[in-house]
Amino acid sequence: MAGAHSVRVAVAQMTSINDLAANFATCSRLVKEAASAGAKLLCFPENFSYVGDKDADNIKIAEPLDGPIMQGYCSLARESSMWLSLGGFQEKGSDDARLCNTHVLLDDAGNIRSTYRKIHL
């Protein structure tokens, strides 16, 4: 039963690969599907944008949050007028040998509203 203040939330299930463009195309398709179903928030899994065969692959593609990969997802949020919860993004770390597994929340205008850099033991 939908109340006056209800919001439709969608959850994406996908298998990411070691191809940024292919994963972005999959995410774009899932955003369109969620939008057509009336969702206002779509939650993506960890490693939504890339899964490398080796750790070195992940480090190689890591970017800062203002890089072109994240800007593509910001545009996707803005164009679809949908909030996106990006489960885990390979954010460039403090040096070239490190990365952060960063959860990013984008608003429906394509702005980064929140980040959480996950800590792994």
What is the value of pTM for the model shown?
A: 0.92
Residue closest to 87 by CA, chosen among 12, 4, 34, 33: 12
- What is the predicted pLDDT for the residue at 5? 84
Residue 93 and residue 62 in contact, taking contact as beta carbons nearer than 8 Å: yes
Which regions of the chain are under pLDDT 50? 121
Q: Identify the structural domains of the chain with CATH numbers, from first to last.
A: 17-117 (3.60.110.10)
- What is the predicted pLDDT for the residue at 121? 44
- What is the predicted pLDDT for the residue at 3? 62
- What is the predicted pLDDT for the residue at 4? 73
Other CB atoms closer than 10 Å to residue 116's CB: what's the count? 12
Rounded to whole angstroms, the Cα distance separating 24 from 19 reads 9
Rounded to whole angstroms, the Cα distance separating 84 from 115 reads 12
- What is the predicted pLDDT for the residue at 2? 58
- The burial of 44, by beta-carbon neighbours within 10 Å (0-12 exposed, 13-18 middle, 19 or more buried), is given as buried
pLDDT in tens, 36-70: 999 999 999 999 999 999 988 999 999 999 999 99
